[in-house]
Structure 1
Amino acid sequence: MARLRPAVIVHYHEISLKRGNRPLFLRQLARNLERAVSDLGPVRLRQLTGRILLDLDGNEHPEAVRDRAARVCGVASVALAWRVASTIEAMKAAVAQIVDGRRFPSFRISARRAFKTYPMTSVELNRELGAFVLERIGHDATRVDLHHADLDVHLEVLPAETFVYVQPTPGPGGLPVGASGTVAALLSGGIDSPVAAWRMMKRGCRVLFVHFHSVPYLPATSQAKARALVERLTEWQYRSQLMLVPLGEIQREVVLTVPPPLRVVVYRRMMVRIAQVLARQSGVLALATGESV
């Protein structure tokens, strides 16, 4: 019986296209992954060809590690995998433990070789392991379906070991947070500004949040909402700063001196000018808003 050891396989796509800056982006992605799972027990990170391995030997929270990794910008997909030797016998044993006890009307085997000197081609591996599943489960219980399979068993064959998994979890994609500098996001209580901030994270920007409120002239509801939004968005960059800026006195002065049709424009202009000063004080060179979302 093959010894199954757990691991999380992290795939990235866009980073692979960044030829000149790829090492920089990979180092940033590795740092972000380590930060994301730092409180979940022992996790050893290792970079492999075209993927990152999170070794979970001794870890008691493999599903939590997978879910955290799936929220790291720059990650295309993650999967909780089993590590076995790169022999056909070990692969069959791993596949057997995956399919035993499951009910699936159709299935497919998706094997990929990370090195082309393996004695069997990907097609041959698919056929060999597919025939093994049919023989083990029974031709009456399941069938092969290459297009709409109920169960898709993935195998990634490397020289030293093979990773076997099902149901990869999609990630946000894009670039790792911190690879493209920092922006200051003007955060309102609506949906547009947090979406804009999240999209900036996907482009590799760390986001500093700025929220304008009208306390004591209005209740502190907007502050609580801003804190809740930042708490949710922090799941994608794992460290955030929220600046709460009182705007009540400025609004009061605008009401006294500016005609009603122009007040909203003046409010927005003042918020942008204040955010610009705060951004410069924090070393931030760009502002992000939700107007164009």
Structure 2
Amino acid sequence: MYQPILVRYGEIALKGKNRRYFEDALQQNIKRALAGTGAEVRRRQGRFLVLTPPEEGDQVLDLLSRVFGIVSISPVFSAEASLESIQETAAALVESLPPTLNTFKVESRRPNKNFPLTSPEINRLVGAYLLKRFPHLRVDVHQPSFQVLIEVHHREAFLYHDSLRGPGGLPLGVTGSTLLLLSGGIDSPVAGWLAMKRGLKLEALHFHSFPFTGHRAREKVVDLCRKLARYGLEIPLHQISLTAIQKEIRARCPEALSITLLRRMMLRLAEALAQRRNLQSITTGESLGQVASQTLESLQVISAVTPMLLFRPLLCMDKHEIVALAQAIETYDISIRPYEDCCTLFVPRHPATRPTFSQVERAEANLDLDSLLQEALDTLGTEVITPELTSSYLG
């Protein structure tokens, strides 16, 4: 005996001729998310139906709640597409609820427009049946203590009283791929989550400054990546050492420009890795005006080193909005662990907020860029992060 769960998607339904492509992608992502459970995934008109062993119901609901593209999910009662079956099933639904809930409202919709009754007629007839069957109930269309929600499809109807929200967005992978610059801070994990929500398959790149950043800083980044992997099943995490680059910048360049120069080197390295991994874009956690390297002038000078498409999902969000989302996706408590990342080390006392191209080009003339970039790329290490475990592989 299976417990059916109705899965709804929103934006996908607006995709016109490409709708089938998006639906296929979502179905495959649902199947991957539920691998290892006994659940089966079936299509219905504008919906998916997940048939779940009762003992796995909570686990399946939890997994589905993190699949991008899903708007909401509901455990449902299944009935034949007839008034009598719908009424009897509505009674079974009421019997499953606490008896203290004594006011209700019926709402129905008909994906099957050939059903002989209109939605208002279904509401009225099912409501009347429940009032007769359960004398303690009364109708309250404004503030009911529960609702009987009905969807009538071609061969069956689904009844439920509640819905759980999904993350929404687009199915993972349908819009391309991106390389996330993942620090240990609050912002970049949120940027990565938003990129995934728009259908981008994610890989992450973390820059470290070992031995100035220790093993706990690395563990923090792995834990952040593991949180993101709950939405993407697995995320390749790449790590590159910036220690030699930071030492050279500190020794040979103006102190005020050190963060700008470092960010330019990070983007060059990210572009090289993205090309090596056949990724189409780079995503960062920058928010306009938040720190010295995120003024318009700084962003312009930093971005100029790469022709690759740059996504900055947080650009126009304030810190309160970013923190709220970090808390919602459960990365915030990890991000505030007191372990420094490479960008918090060697911070100048008075960083330049309006660097110019001529200034940074003169400073970079003191550096052997090609040699430094190759030396950094030679430190590359890669591991695949999953929600439950970490497995190493050669990138």
Is the TM value for this pair above 0.5?
yes
RMSD over equivalenced CA pairs, Å: 1.7
User: What is the 5 A alignment of 1:66-105?
Assistant: 66-100=61-95, 101-102=97-98, 103-105=100-102
Indicate conservation of the 8 Å contact 2:149/2:161, yes or no.
yes
Identity %: 36
Q: Residues 66 and 218 (structure 1 numbering): CA distance in 2 closer, same or farther, change over 3 Å?
A: closer
User: What is the 5 A alignment of 1:20-169?
Assistant: 20-41=17-38, 43-56=39-52, 58=53, 60-100=55-95, 101-102=97-98, 103-138=100-135, 141-169=136-164
Q: Secondary structure at the match of 2:235?
A: coil
TM-score, normalised with respect to structure 1: 0.92
Question: 2:235 aligns to what?
Answer: 240
Q: Which moved more, 1:80-89 or 1:24-33?
A: 80-89
Indicate conservation of the 8 Å contact 2:5/2:50, yes or no.
yes
Which structure has more relative contact order (CA 8 Å, sep 6+)? It is 1
Aligned-partner Cα distance in 1 for 2:55–2:271: 46
Unaligned segments of structure 1, at least 5 residues: none
How many angstroms does 1:231 deviate by?
0.6
Aligned-partner Cα distance in 2 for 1:171–1:7: 17
Q: Secondary structure at the match of 2:155?
A: coil
Letter in 2 for 1:165: Y
Q: Which moved more, 1:167-176 or 1:4-13?
A: 4-13
1:187 to 182, 185, 195: 182
Letter in 1 for 2:284: T
Indicate conservation of the 8 Å contact 2:77/2:93, yes or no.
no
Indicate conservation of the 8 Å contact 1:5/1:84, yes or no.
no
Aligned-partner Cα distance in 2 for 1:105–1:251: 67
Aligned-partner Cα distance in 2 for 1:194–1:248: 23
How far does the alpha carbon of each residue in 1:225-269 deviate from its partner, in whole angstroms, 9 at most, with x for none?
A: 111111111111112111111112211222111222111111111
Letter in 1 for 2:158: F
Letter in 2 for 1:96: A
Aligned-partner Cα distance in 1 for 2:142–2:176: 41
Question: 1:12 aligns to what?
Answer: 9
Indicate conservation of the 8 Å contact 1:180/1:205, yes or no.
yes
2:197 to 193, 202, 207: 202
2:170 to 164, 175, 183: 175
Q: Say if 2:277 is the partner of 1:282.
A: yes
Aligned-partner Cα distance in 2 for 1:226–1:166: 40
How far does the alpha carbon of each residue in 1:158-216 deviate from its partner, in whole angstroms, 9 at most, with x for none?
A: 12111111211111111100101110010111121111111111111001111111111
How many angstroms does 1:277 deviate by?
0.6
Q: Secondary structure at the match of 2:17?
A: coil
**Number of paired residues?**
286
Q: Secondary structure at the match of 1:63?
A: helix
Indicate conservation of the 8 Å contact 1:83/1:161, yes or no.
yes
Indicate conservation of the 8 Å contact 2:45/2:153, yes or no.
no
Aligned-partner Cα distance in 2 for 1:148–1:254: 64
Q: Quick check: which has more Rg, 1 or 2?
A: 2
How far does the alpha carbon of each residue in 1:105-133 deviate from its partner, in whole angstroms, 9 at most, with x for none?
A: 43211211121221221111111111222
Unaligned segments of structure 2, at least 5 residues: 288-313, 315-395
1:253 to 223, 248, 257: 248
* Runs (4+) off by over 3 Å: none
Aligned-partner Cα distance in 1 for 2:130–2:230: 39
Aligned-partner Cα distance in 1 for 2:256–2:144: 59
Indicate conservation of the 8 Å contact 1:6/1:83, yes or no.
no
Letter in 2 for 1:204: G
How many angstroms does 1:142 deviate by?
4.1
Aligned-partner Cα distance in 1 for 2:206–2:15: 34
